[in-house]
Amino acid sequence: MVTDAASCAPGGPVRLTAYSHGAGCACKLSPTELGQVMAGLTPARSPDLIVGREHGDDALVWRRPDGRALVATIDVFTPIVDDAATWGRIAAVNAGSDVFAMGGRPLFGLAFAAWPRERLPLTLLTEVLEAGQAAANDGGWVVAGGHTIDGAEPLYGQAVVGELDPERMLRNTQGRPGDTLVLTKPLGTGLVTTAVKRRPPEAHGPGGELAGAYAAAVAEMTRSNGDAAQAALACGTRAGTDVTGFGLLNHLREVLLASGVAARLDAAAVPRLPGVADLLARGEVPGGTQRNLAHVRDHLELAAGVDEGQLVVLADAQTSGGLLLAVPARAAAVDLVAQLTDGGHTAAVIGELTDGPSATIQIVA
Ligand SMILES: Nc1ncnc2c1ncn2[C@@H]1O[C@H](COP(=O)(O)OP(=O)(O)OP(=O)(O)O)[C@@H](O)[C@H]1O
Ligand SMILES: [Mg+2]
């Protein structure tokens, strides 16, 4: 086994993020590129396919003869943090998130990994896989197989299969004017993890300038969306998605396009991770976040007072982000936020769906 001198502090631990070109969900193709690729793909058809990829939903849903349905998704990404076990946990929580974002319960998963075997110790890969299995167990599913290849960059993730009641799903198509928008995690993981990656390790170690922001980001990225999804279903929610690499604005826009509605967002109400304001002040914006904002900018209507920094946060590429939910009754949304807050989530009412020009997002300061 050999490790890259360039990627290690002298005598220090391996920095996994030094082996990846783009971190976490920010390594996705941009929304523009994915749209081009998908436009050229023949749609899949089957009488049992209840949800396919036509509305960019989080997972496919497959009808079973007993009236229940299977839900299946895959998520694989590059290291978002340097620590192997933390990365494994984040990637597994993120892989299960799309099942929760459809209102499902994960049953089992298959792990996929790529590993630069000449450059990184295999023991680290075992750590990643073990942490991913443990996170899956905590989330209620088992990982009992997978596939591993030699690759130029480390990659890890899971395909996860779950089940749901097709009458009680969270779909992109079910948003209605008047629904209240709830977000269940703070934004800023892209800004924080990119800053951590660019600085020496001491910056996010004990007492470092990014220590608080990093700890908060890891706590959010390793937080399951399972509770929030169950609570949302229980209060009558039928529309939602998870906020990942395309940022809140683009994931919201997928819901708007699929539902044929518009939205009003209260930028000041959107929760942020600690440390984000400092990074914005220094202009430290990840490339993926800039691409996300460029993709959606033409569809924004900005009220007086909305500044560029707020837009950057709203477009920031999230890894293992929270749920964006469209809750039919305002009072139910307020109760949902209170319930989630009591359970340790940082959730907030952030706006509403409207009958404005289709798929337009009006942003107020
Ligand atoms: N290679 C592919 N082949 C077929 N469909 C794809 C492929 N890549 C993406 N898609 C589909 O495009 C849509 C958007 O995918 P995307 O990965 O952005 O969202 P997602 O599945 O919600 O994942 P995440 O929440 O982790 O970002 C989904 O419906 C997905 O199934
Ligand atoms: Mg998703």
* Bridge partner list, 162: 71, 106
pLDDT reported for residue 307: 94
Please compute the mean of the pLDDT values over residues 118-127 and round it to a whole number: 97
Cβ of residue 53 lying under 6 Å from some atom of ligand 1:
yes
Largest pairwise CA distance in the chain? 60
The response to whether 58 counts as a known ligand-binding position is yes
Question: Which own/partner pairs from 197-202 qualify as long-range (CB within 8 Å, at least 24 positions apart)?
Answer: 197/17, 197/18, 197/23, 198/284, 200/9, 201/9, 201/12, 201/13, 201/15, 201/82
Share of the chain above pLDDT 70, in %: 96
pLDDT reported for residue 24: 64
- If one residue of 243, 244, 250 were mutated to test the ligand 1 pocket, choosing by the most ligand atoms within 8 A of its CB, it would be 244
Name the DSSP letter for residue 344.
T
Q: Are 200 and 9 in contact (CB under 8 A)?
A: yes
pLDDT reported for residue 22: 73
**Closest listed residue to residue 222, CA positions, set 93, 80, 133:** 93
Please compute the mean of the pLDDT values over residues 216-227 and round it to a whole number: 98
Range name among 20-29, 74-83, 227-236 with the lowest pLDDT average = 20-29
Please compute the mean of the pLDDT values over residues 119-138 and round it to a whole number: 97
pLDDT band at 30 (very low <50, low <70, confident <90, very high): confident
CA 28 to ligand 1 center in whole angstroms: 9
Tell me which amino acid residue 279 is: L
Residue 121 CA, chain-centre distance (Å), reads: 28
Average pLDDT along the chain: 94
pLDDT reported for residue 9: 46
CA 169 to ligand 2 center in whole angstroms: 14
Please compute the mean of the pLDDT values over residues 216-221 and round it to a whole number: 98
Output the CA torsion 336→342→347→351 (10° steps).
40
Q: Is 275 helix (H, G, I), strand (E, B) or coil?
A: coil
What's the pLDDT tens digit per position in 336-365? Answer: 999 999 999 999 999 999 999 989 999 999
| 235 counts as catalytic | no
Name the DSSP letter for residue 187.
B
Tell me which amino acid residue 204 is: H
pLDDT reported for residue 28: 83
Q: If residue 362 lies in a helix (H) or strand (E), which one and from where to where? A: strand 361-364
d(CA 25, CA 58): 14
d(CA 11, CA 116): 20
- ipTM metric: 0.92
Number of Cβ within 10 Å of residue 268's Cβ equals: 11
pLDDT band at 23 (very low <50, low <70, confident <90, very high): low
Burial of 342 (C-beta count, 10 Å sphere; 0-12/13-18/19+):
exposed
From the CA of 97, give the closest atom in ligand 1. 25
What's the pLDDT tens digit per position in 291-324? Answer: 999 999 999 999 999 999 999 999 999 999 999 9
pLDDT reported for residue 8: 44
Cβ of residue 58 lying under 6 Å from some atom of ligand 1:
yes
Determine which residue's CA is closest to atom 28 belonging to ligand 1. Answer: 56
Q: Are 353 and 178 in contact (CB under 8 A)?
A: yes
pLDDT reported for residue 7: 46
pLDDT band at 12 (very low <50, low <70, confident <90, very high): low
Q: Is 206 helix (H, G, I), strand (E, B) or coil?
A: coil
Determine which residue's CA is closest to atom 13 belonging to ligand 1. Answer: 56
Using alpha carbons only, give the angle 211, 17, 108 rounded to the nearest 5 degrees: 95
Burial of 42 (C-beta count, 10 Å sphere; 0-12/13-18/19+):
exposed
Q: Are 265 and 205 in contact (CB under 8 A)?
A: no
Checking if the pLDDT of 1 tops 50, the result is no
Share of the chain above pLDDT 90, in %: 90
Tell me which amino acid residue 275 is: G
pLDDT reported for residue 256: 98
Determine which residue's CA is closest to atom 9 belonging to ligand 1. Answer: 34
pLDDT reported for residue 155: 97
Q: Are 261 and 357 in contact (CB under 8 A)?
A: no
d(CA 85, CA 16): 11
Q: Are 361 and 300 in contact (CB under 8 A)?
A: yes
Please compute the mean of the pLDDT values over residues 16-45 and round it to a whole number: 85
Determine which residue's CA is closest to atom 26 belonging to ligand 1. Answer: 75
Decide which of 205 and 13 is more confident: 205
Which ligand lies nearest to the CA atom of residue 318 in the structure?
1
pLDDT reported for residue 31: 85
Checking if the pLDDT of 270 tops 90, the result is yes
Please compute the mean of the pLDDT values over residues 128-152 and round it to a whole number: 97
Output the CA torsion 62→247→82→86 (10° steps).
-50
Q: Are 156 and 40 in contact (CB under 8 A)?
A: no
Please compute the mean of the pLDDT values over residues 181-194 and round it to a whole number: 97
pLDDT reported for residue 254: 96
